[in-house]
Every structure is written in C-alpha cells, then in structure tokens.
Chain A
Amino acid sequence: MFYREAGQFKSSYNADQAILPIAQDRVFVIGVLAVAFAGVPWFIDSYWVNAIFLPFLAYALAALGLNLLTGYCGQVSLGTGGFMAVGAFATFKLITAFPELNLIIVVLLSGAVTAAVGVMFGLPSLRIKGFYLAVATLAAQFFLVWLFNKVGWFLNYSPTGQITMPSVEVFGVLVTGPRATPAARYLFCLSFVALFALAAKNIVRGRVGRSWMAIRDMDIAAELIGIRPLAAKLSAFAVSSFYIGMAGSLYFGVWLGSAEPIEAFGIEQSFLVLFMIIIGGLGSVLGSFLGAAFMTLMPIVLKNFMVDGLAVEVVTAKHVEITLMGVLIIFFLIVEPHGLARMWQILKEKLRLWPFPY
C-alpha cells in the first residue's frame, strides 16, 4: 500500500541506473544508516559491541568479499579463514613496525597485502573450476595458517604464540585495545563496512562486475565476446581478498584484540563465511549482510532464549543451539535456495501489489 513505484518517473539514465531506483527504498536505507551511525552509538555498551555489532560487521565485510568472488564471479573459495589471517597478520606487523601509521591506512594496506596473496592463490582458477578450485583454495587456508603459526617472525616471536593488538588512536580517539570505548570501536568498523559496501555495489553494477558475472554465467561466451578470463578472474580474487583482508584486520584489530592463528582463523571460519553467503544469497550485496546477521545473531538469540527463557543449562543450551542452527540452515535452504536476499526481493514484489493483487 505504501510501497509503490507508480508515479516515479525516470528522465535520465543516471536516475534509472541508481542503486535504489525506488524512493521508498532510498528512505528506508537512509533511515537504517542514520540509526546505525547516529542512534546505536548512544546506547551501545561493551556486551553489545563485543557480542553482536563487531562480529556482525567483521563477518559482513568478509562475506561481502567472498560474495564478490563466489557469488558474482562464480569462483568457489574455501580460503577465507586463511585470507582473514593474512589481513590480521599484516595489520599486526604493520602496526608494530610503524606505530605512527594511521590505523585507517594500516587496514587499507592489510587489504592490499591480502589482495596480492589472493591473486597468487587465484592463479589455479585459470585452469580449474568448481569443486576442484575449492580444494585448491583449501590449500591456501591450511598453508597460510600453518605459515603464520610456524614462522616466528610473523608473531614477532611472541612466546605465547598469540598476536596482540596495541592500543591505537585514530584522529585522537582510541579505537583498539582494552581502553577503547565501545562506540568508537563500533563506529570505526561501521564506517569501513558502509563505505566498502557502497564501493562493492558500484563495482558490481559497472563494467568489472558485468565481466565477473559473464564469467560466472557462461565463461566461454564471455571469452568470445572479448572478456579476458585472466583479468576478470584475477581481479575478482584481488578485490575479494582485499575485502576479506580488511575484514580480518578489523576482526583481529578491533574486535578480538588478540588472536592465535589456528583458533581464530581455522577452516571453521572459511565454512562459516561460505554459509553466510549461501544463506544470505549468492550474488547479492544485501545477502552478504543478511547472511552475516543470521549466522552471528541467531546463535545468540537461541542461547538467550534457552538459558534465560527456558532455564536450560548453559552446556546443554550450547549443544541444542548447534543442532538448531543446522536445522534452521537446512530449513532456509529448502524454503528458498537462493537465500534470504531473494526472500526479501519476493516480499518486496508482493508488497508492491498488496493489498490488491489484481
């Protein structure tokens, strides 16, 4: 009833090509961003930031990165955990070697380092596809984590085998370390995620995004109309790894604060992020966020409901939670194999006609 595009005429190609061509959508998204930037920081406390917002933001950025590669370019990757580790270790090495460097630049550089590593591990994609490529990227996962664990230089020869983020200020405000305020940490991550989500959306609706999707949908035809598979696939690996590297950097630097390579960046991370984009929706920027939200928030909701609501013991609750998560994933995949983003789209299409569908 309220969600109508009737009467909204486009008189220029710019207007027609806008990210959100429908006015109601624009209002909605601006509203969400306004709440996220101006509303949330007022009530956020350390529980909310550590348990909900930072994991969501870090994973959303990683899922976005993987979605660019897997959802848009069709190259399956199981190396996400390894690439997040590259971002985290790049941040750690850079910030300990150059403490004066602005953290924003450090995060961007960590992304760039990861992009280079990603391109290297993306080279097999020129020869192999599908499951075989997944196995090849799995090698990246195990090799990188092993490397960081084994070579002392990466850990700055830390005796505990952990890396710890020093307290760093950005423009005079502490954003990492134990004394940083929740709001500062949250806003730092949110800015990155919001900016790069916009950038991702712009990339996928332009020339590069179309060449990725062309490779995904029909690689031979794409090649014959003049898209170089080499350039398209490696640029997808580079951009995807750049995002995942930044996600790893925020994950370690701002959220965890200290990390141990095998635990923090194991194969579970790779699967978790892959599940996020499958559940959220492959080939959708929105889907990455929905998937990340589902996978990070659902366990908390379930746990709180069981422990506080039903007075189940914490240990039992944990087991039930894992089972329920599995059931929910299967349920969503059966109901809508194309993910939550597609559900949202169908809902909007229905809403356009509601309540008079004729």
Chain B
Amino acid sequence: MNQEHTGNDVLLEVHNISLSFGGVTAIEDVSFDIRTGEIRAIIGPNGAGKSSMLNVINGFYHPQQGSITYKGETRPQMKPHHAASHGIARTFQNIALFKGMSTLDNIMTGRNTVMTKNIIWQALYFGPALKEEREHREFVEHIIDFLEIQAIRKTPVGRLPYGMQKRVELGRALAAEPDLLLLDEPMAGMNVEEKEDMCRFVLDVNEEFGTTIALIEHDMGVVMDISDRVVVLDYGKKIADGTPDEVRANQDVVDAYLGVSHG
C-alpha cells in the first residue's frame, strides 16, 4: 500500500538459504528479496525460522547453504560487524538493551560504528574527540525527539517500562542510520496504544528516512496494515510470498498459519 515510494531495485536477496543446528533444520532452501524502501514482513507460526532468518541476514548465524546478495555483493554469509557497518541494524525479540546504561548512552552506542576517534583523544576529551561526541549527541537528540523519549534521556533503561524499552531499542537501531532495519517482533507484549505508537514510528521511519524495513510480527492486523509485501515461513520452508492480499488469499497460508477448521 505504500507502493509510491517503493522502488523496484532489490536491496537484499537471499538465495536458497538452508540452516540447521545439528540434526534440527531451522531453515530449508528459502529465497526471497527485499526491495529498497519497502516494508517487508516475515510471518509464520512459532518455530518457523523467522528469527533465524533475521540472524542469517545480519550474520549472527552462518547458513550451511545458499548465498546472500546485499547491495549488489553476493557472499555465502554475512559477518555481524560487516553487516552493522554496511547499514543493517536490528532490534531483538527479547529486549537486548544495555541495562546498566542510560537511554542516551544506549542510543549513542548505536553510533559506535560511525565514530572513529581513538582512545588517546578520548582520554583527553578534547579537540576532535569532544567535537565528535557533540556532533553525534546532536544526531542522537534528533532520534530522541523523533521517538518522543526526551523525558527518559538520562534514565537507566533497566528502570523503564517494557514499551519504552522497545522504543529505546528502536532508537538504538536507528542511530546507526541503517539502510535496512530488521525488527524482530517490535510489538510483542504491547497494549493497543503502544502498538499504535510503534506502528506510527515504523511507518514514519520508512517514509521520512526512506529506510527499508524487514519485520517479524505475530499481530496479523499490524502486518496486513503496514507491510508492502509479506513472506510466510512454516517449518523452515517458504510457503507464500506476495502482497498482504495475495498472502491472505493463499490456501497454504490459511491452512498453516491463520488457522482453519480441519473438519
């Protein structure tokens, strides 16, 4: 539904990815692409391999087979650091914030890959290091404004309520100025209002910053509303791929996931 700003050039493409842990196959021969500027949802029942797929895309898991083409470069697997420094950022299913640090520090940490001054300058906290710190602080303040979390800037994140932590985590991912943002269940465990807020942020990020988004979500209402295209996994295999309407009409999906009486 946001077709007008969705280009047709492919940002990331996974080819025939297979991933197994010992004897357990998590992903089997899955291929799909993510186009620049779109919101791409990955859905499927629990254990379908959705999170594993995200972990493959940003290099945390190394698939046994297949390849990944990102920004025109094909490689058998990504490295976490390479993925992070080339514009892939993500949030986690179970919040993975740095609990001992403040909201501001957490989001600043997201800018680590673009900060360069060495430790000697930092020990002096003077000249280039100070300038760098100030510039990045300014950028982070824009994110804080965008996510409307000014009031909790200096609060240690461990003290924040769940919905706020999710928001800070999105902020940390945005701080890296990603080209591709991977969201692993951004609305899990939220109430309706928090979900609406989060949807608004996701759509705004997509529209204002032009960030491509791949998200995993269980709330079908949300998925069908905000995503441009949906890929459906079940038991590690891809069973459907297309626009929300196409997916909704697909009999395999209905059987496997949305639930149908087996009468």
Contact = CB atoms under 8 A, between A and B. Distances in A.
A206 B122 contact: yes
A323 interface: no
Interface string B124-146: 11000110111001100100000
B98 A217 contact: yes
B176 A210 contact: no
A221 B124 contact: no
B81 interface: yes
Interface string A50-88: 000000000000000000000000000000000000000
A16 to B, nearest CB: 8
Contacts of B101: 210, 213-214, 217
For the complex, would chain A's binding face be called helix, strand, loop or mixed by DSSP majority?
helix
A175 B69 CA distance: 64
A216 interface: yes
B127 to A, nearest CB: 12
Interface stretch (B2-10, B107-115, B206-214): B107-115
Contacts of B83: 224, 226
Contact of A207 (B81, B84, B115, B172): B115
A223 interface: yes
A207 B90 contact: no
A24 to B, nearest CB: 18
A200 B124 CA distance: 9
Contacts of A223: 60, 80-81
Nearest to B130: A14
Contacts of A270: none
B44 to A, nearest CB: 22
A241 to B, nearest CB: 14
B152 to A, nearest CB: 15
B112 A226 contact: yes
B98 A207 contact: no
A214 B109 contact: yes
Interface string A210-235: 11011011101111111110000001
B97 A218 contact: yes
A226 B100 contact: no
Interface centre among A208, A226, A239 (most CB of B within 10 A): A226
Interface in B213-249: none
A312 B98 CA distance: 51
Nearest to A216: B100
B85 A226 contact: yes
A213 B172 CA distance: 15
Contacts of A226: 80-81, 83-85, 112-113, 176
Contacts of A235: 119
A160 interface: no
Q: Which 5 A-B pairs have the closest CB atoms?
A: A226-B84, A221-B96, A217-B98, A202-B125, A226-B113
29 contacts: A13-B134, A14-B134, A17-B137, A202-B125, A203-B119, A206-B117, A207-B132, A210-B105, A211-B109, A211-B112, A213-B105, A213-B109, A214-B98, A216-B100, A217-B99, A217-B100, A217-B101, A218-B97, A218-B99, A222-B109, A223-B60, A224-B90, A225-B90, A225-B109, A225-B113, A225-B172, A225-B173, A226-B176, A239-B119
Interface of B: 58, 60, 80-81, 83-85, 89-90, 92, 96-101, 105, 108-110, 112-113, 115, 117, 119, 122-125, 129-130, 132-134, 137-138, 141, 172-173, 176
Interface of A: 13-14, 17, 199-200, 202-203, 205-211, 213-214, 216-218, 220-228, 235, 239, 283
